[in-house]
A = this chain, B = another copy of it.
């Protein structure tokens, strides 16, 4: 496919997603489509066509900015619906029990801001979260992961996340990875309007000790690290 056709295909999908409320995916597609348009606009010899492209790029940038404002607006506004303090060495908490009920078939998009993904147990936590998402959010179409680049082992990280992406795409779920090296806060944004903020993000479990003991696979039996959980509901909940 030529760069122009690729750009067109991306932007058509962007508009479709935008119109059907899949704003996170639309945002990604606008960005990718604009970047693709940019690559050949400067090499276009016909000045009229070039100006035409630039006008279109400006339009799509405006749409992308409008979406960004909507996403940020949703992240800023809202009321707190649940607060939970997990104490050091507490047990009884797994993702499903803490926030599974907010992950519903109304959740078609998820943005996960999780700065640390470099250790085995961190990838395992990511999979555990995605398994819950796949199980509960039956209409899930898009997951955006925002994380830090693993400075020590960037290739391993890229391989692991690439395999997760391929796996989700076999389930018709787009997976978009954004590296952001200044990221600190952890946040899970669900498109049904809930935002889950956990001080330690997904990584609030202690290792099972000894390894083969109750709690190795069922995390309700795992000891936790101290952390706070706040669950927010934005003003734009559909139902």
Q: Mark A111-128, 1 if CB is under 8 A from B, else 0.
A: 000000000000110111
Q: In the bound complex, how far is the Cα of B221 from the Cα of A171, in angstroms? A: 12
Are the C-beta atoms of B214 and A128 separated by less than 8 Å?
A: no
Q: A168 CA to B123 CA in the complex, in Å? A: 29
Which positions 90-143 of chain A face chain B at CB distance < 8 Å? 123-124, 126-128, 130-132, 134-135
13 interchain pairs, CB-CB under 8 A: A124-B212, A124-B216, A127-B212, A127-B216, A128-B217, A131-B214, A131-B221, A132-B218, A134-B221, A135-B218, A135-B220, A160-B212, A163-B211
Nearest CB of B to A20, in Å: 25
- Report A's interface with B, CB cutoff 8 A: 123-124, 126-128, 130-132, 134-135, 160, 163-164, 167-168, 171, 210-218, 220-221
Q: How far is the CA of A135 from the CA of B123 in the complex (A)?
A: 26
Least Cβ–Cβ distance between A84 and chain B, in angstroms: 22
Looking at chain A's contact residues, the main secondary structure is helix
How long is the Cα–Cα vector from A161 to B197 in the complex, in angstroms?
39
Contacts of A221 in B (CB 8 A): 131, 134
Nearest CB in chain B to that of A161: its residue:
B212
B124 touches A164 (CB 8 A): no
A218:B131 contact, CB within 8 angstroms = yes
Chain B residues, Cβ within 8 Å of A163: 210-213
Tell me, in angstroms, the Cα distance from A186 to B13 when the chains sit together.
Answer: 53
- Taken together as a complex, chains A and B put the C-alpha atoms of A164 and B213 apart, in Å, by 5
* CA A126 to CA B218, docked complex, whole Å: 12
